[in-house]
Amino acid sequence: MSRRKGQNPKVRVGKRADGTKYYFFQYWLDVPGREERRRETEVIGLVSHITRSEAERKKLDFITKLELNSDDYRIPSSRTFADAVKHYREVFAPRMHRGSTFSVRDGLLKNHIEPDWNDVPIEHVNIDSVNEWAWKKRQAGVSWGTIKDALRTMQRVLSAFSKDGKPPFSQAGLAIPERDKLQMTIASRRKVSYSWAEAQQIAEQVRKLDGLGPARREQYATAILVAASAGLRSSELLALKVDDIDFRASTIRVDESSDQRNAGKIGPCKNATAYRTVLLRDPEGQRALRELRRFVSNGTNPEVLVFHSKRGGPLLETTILNQGLYQALGALGLKKAGMHALRRGCNRRWELAGINPAIHRQQMGHTSAAMTALYTGEIPLEHVQAEFSSKIGNEIVVLENMENEAIA
């Protein structure tokens, strides 16, 4: 909203009950979140202590500090963040977001954003107020990752509500301490990643679980091996149909995704690069395809989901985790993580194998090389040792022999 006409109230003389006279003036103050203005009174001083000229000067100083007459002054909007959220939920999100995307953002709104921001006028949402809020959330134990996700949701809500489609702040101005930035980077590099050898161990352990029937054990074990060999997202894995697999060409086609936040509903993939055909010509991929061929019966309807519930509907990742994966990890003494750790392990295996970066990125369905590199993370020491041994192993043996001879 545009600025109002400047204010120049008159200095007046008031009289108290005891007869004391004083200088005062009245001015109008715009109230955030309301259209009307509020009339305020400011007492300057006693008539017996200051002159009218001094009272006029103090009045001007006061008005100047309020910036009521500044060219930059803007009338506070009557719209609050709650109005933007209402528009986002009822108009923008149903048209523009997938169900899973809206579910994640709606959870962030309810748990982290609305309790603090609902009554705040929109023009008060800026990088300064955001930084103050972020620091309070951090002091309350909320991770920077969650804070940044919440702020991305705020940006989307506010940009959807604004005329120019732009958020009022940028996360580039988010004041994250350097130490916290470093810890975030280290934590990202050390996310759990299961190697192919570990994936095989996990699958074998799942096949030994007593609490599951034979069919369910085989289903979970096969799903784990396919995820580890093809690098599929769990939503892609659980949307696979029989006709997506070409055993002769050794490929798996990804053209649908299971919305895990909407009862596994089958729909479009995450983004354009997620639509791809994954080639499984390496030994790990061939092993997974053999397991998959054995698991998929001949003559099965090609439109049937490969991994489905007992009633033939979409299978949920949480079911695999709670009934199979977590129990197998506990028995093996491996760090607890979800199906995504199998995807990260596949990404690392392909990179260490020297796959062309463009091919690698396409196989993973990543939008950028930076994302592919991020998935690799910190390479375990045993892989580093293996690389050194393959490249300069003979030289190390020669040096060790020379040192031993010198000592002797």
Identify whether 106 is part of a domain. yes
DSSP code per residue over 110-150: IIIIHHHHTTSBGGG-SHHHHHHHHHHHHHTT--HHHHHHH
pLDDT computed for residue 382 by the predictor = 82
Looking at the 3D structure of the chain, how many domains does it have? 3
Whether 342 and 200 share a structural domain: yes
Identify whether 16 is part of a domain. yes
Whether 206 and 330 share a structural domain: yes
Mean pLDDT of 157-161: 94
Mean pLDDT of 193-197: 95
Strand order in the sheet with 37-46: 12-15, 21-30, 37-46
Do strands 251-254 and 276-279 pair parallel, antiparallel, or not at all (unpaired)?
antiparallel
pLDDT computed for residue 2 by the predictor = 45
pLDDT computed for residue 400 by the predictor = 62
Where residue 346 sits, what CATH number does that domain have?
1.10.443.10
Mean pLDDT of 354-368: 95
The residue count for the chain: 408
> Domain boundary at 42, 66, 90, which?
66
> Domain boundary at 148, 164, 189, which?
189
pLDDT computed for residue 395 by the predictor = 60
Half-sphere exposure of 155 (CA within 13 A, CB side): 15
Whether 292 and 178 share a structural domain: no
Identify whether 274 is part of a domain. yes
| Whether the predicted pLDDT of 306 surpasses 60 | yes
Q: Which SS3 state, helix, strand or coil, does residue 42 take?
A: strand
What is the domain extent for residue 25?
A: 12-66
pLDDT computed for residue 344 by the predictor = 95
Whether 171 and 216 share a structural domain: no
Average pLDDT, the chain: 88
Whether 227 and 360 share a structural domain: yes
Identify whether 399 is part of a domain. no
Q: Among the listed ranges 72-86, 120-134, 229-243, which one has the minimum average pLDDT value? A: 72-86
pLDDT computed for residue 187 by the predictor = 85
Mean pLDDT of 274-296: 95
**How many angstroms separate the Cα of 318 from the Cα of each of 28, 232, 324?**
58, 16, 10
> Domain boundary at 189, 213, 234, which?
189
Whether 60 and 96 share a structural domain: no
Whether 112 and 162 share a structural domain: yes
Whether 335 and 201 share a structural domain: yes
Identify whether 406 is part of a domain. no
Task: Compute, in degrees rounded to 10, the torsion defined by CA atoms 404, 405, 407, 408.
Answer: 120
| Whether the predicted pLDDT of 256 surpasses 50 | yes
Comparing CA positions, the residue from 267, 263, 271 lying closest to residue 308 is 263
Cα 244 to Cα 302: distance, rounded to the nearest angstrom = 8
Q: Which SS3 state, helix, strand or coil, does residue 265 take?
A: strand
Whether 214 and 307 share a structural domain: yes
Whose tokens are 């995704």? That residue is 257
pLDDT computed for residue 38 by the predictor = 78
With a pLDDT cut of 70, the percent of the chain lying above it is 89
pLDDT computed for residue 68 by the predictor = 62
Identify whether 367 is part of a domain. yes
Whether 115 and 252 share a structural domain: no
Q: Are 253 and 238 in contact (CB under 8 A)?
A: no
Identify whether 282 is part of a domain. yes
Q: 324-348, pLDDT tens digit by residue?
A: 999 999 999 999 999 999 999 999 9
With a pLDDT cut of 90, the percent of the chain lying above it is 66
**How many angstroms separate the Cα of 404 from the Cα of each of 2, 308, 392, 393?**
85, 61, 19, 17
Whether 165 and 30 share a structural domain: no
Q: Are 273 and 249 in contact (CB under 8 A)?
A: no
72 or 241, which is more confident:
241
pLDDT computed for residue 1 by the predictor = 43
Identify whether 326 is part of a domain. yes
Whether 212 and 309 share a structural domain: yes
How would residue 31 be classed by pLDDT, with cut points 50, 70 and 90? low
Mean pLDDT of 130-144: 94
